[in-house]
Amino acid sequence: MPLFELARQDKSVNGASELLLPYDALANRDSDSGKYYRFTLSGLKAKITSVMTNELAIGGSNTFSAKTELQERIPVVGKITEVTNKIKVVPQLANSASYTKNETSNTWTQSGKPQFTVDFTLIANNADKAKTHVDWIKMLQSAVLPQGSHDGGLAPPNGYTNTGAGTLTLFVGAWFKATSLVMVNTTFTPSKQVMSNGYPLFWVCSITLEPYRMITAGDFSKYFSQPQTMSVDEVQIVKKNDPNFFESFVAKVNDQKKKLLG
């Protein structure tokens, strides 16, 4: 057999059985079973939906400068020359400290844009799906490669402009939605195994996105929403129909993860 079994007998909540990969059940955007596990990227020619293999990585940064560093950047013109000389030269000639303790206090200069890294694996269980995944890779890569023009020039990826056109939206589970993003990095590794049409059986992927312009803490807080979860009564109904549903579901997800990583 290839990387994993191509089909597995699953039991849905209402007792109906269907042949679905646990991966397919999670990745299918029309399925409720994976709505907390999958991500969707929109803004390209088509929406791309898959299951994350990492916890969403969110990065941020700050830049600070001490007063002494800021003084060094002051242009030396006119009377500022005298001030600069007093700061740097006079204390040195007097054999004393060049700056005071207070002058070493950090001053905030700017914040870096937060970055969002999503790792995922695209798995094909038939030749058509393998071709679709190649189309997805092309679309994702078009978000980091420039567009060509008839005169030989290069245009920004995905029709991007600094007014926000051509940006992307990232949905994660039922709790996260970040808008107006640009792609800053992509990595795609195809499997050596191929399907009957010659396309890779699976792809190991990683993408990193960031806002196209600086956001505030208030903007960032709007990325998060309260997900809708099952009520206590709904949980009891599920357990009554299938007492082992939750345990078996978690076991299948863990088993699938081991197979993907192994």
Give one DSSP letter per residue of 78-125, joined into a string.
TTHHHHHHHHHHHHHHTTS-SS-SGGGSEEEEEEEEEEEEEEEEEE-S
Domain-embedded: residue 1 = no
pTM: 0.69
Average pLDDT of the segment spanning 245-251 = 68
Q: What pLDDT score was predicted for residue 241?
A: 73
Average pLDDT of the segment spanning 178-189 = 97
Domain-embedded: residue 2 = no
The answer to whether 140 and 46 are in contact (CB under 8 A) is: no
Q: What pLDDT score was predicted for residue 237?
A: 72
Distance CA 24, CA 51 (A): 9
Q: Which parts of the chain fold into alpha helices (H)? A: 22-27, 67-72, 80-93, 127-142, 217-221, 232-241, 245-261
To the nearest whole percent, how much of the chain has pLDDT over 90?
A: 45
Domain-embedded: residue 172 = yes
Same domain, 35 and 20: yes
Q: What pLDDT score was predicted for residue 249?
A: 65
Distance CA 100, CA 184 (A): 41
Q: How many domains does the chain have?
A: 2
Identify the three-state secondary structure at position 145: coil
Q: What pLDDT score was predicted for residue 164?
A: 94
Distance CA 30, CA 32 (A): 7
Same domain, 217 and 234: yes
Domain-embedded: residue 3 = no
Q: What pLDDT score was predicted for residue 230?
A: 60
Same domain, 155 and 191: yes
By residue range, what is the domain housing residue 74?
A: 64-109
Distance CA 161, CA 183 (A): 13
Same domain, 206 and 81: no
pLDDT band at 152 (very low <50, low <70, confident <90, very high): confident
Identify the three-state secondary structure at position 246: helix
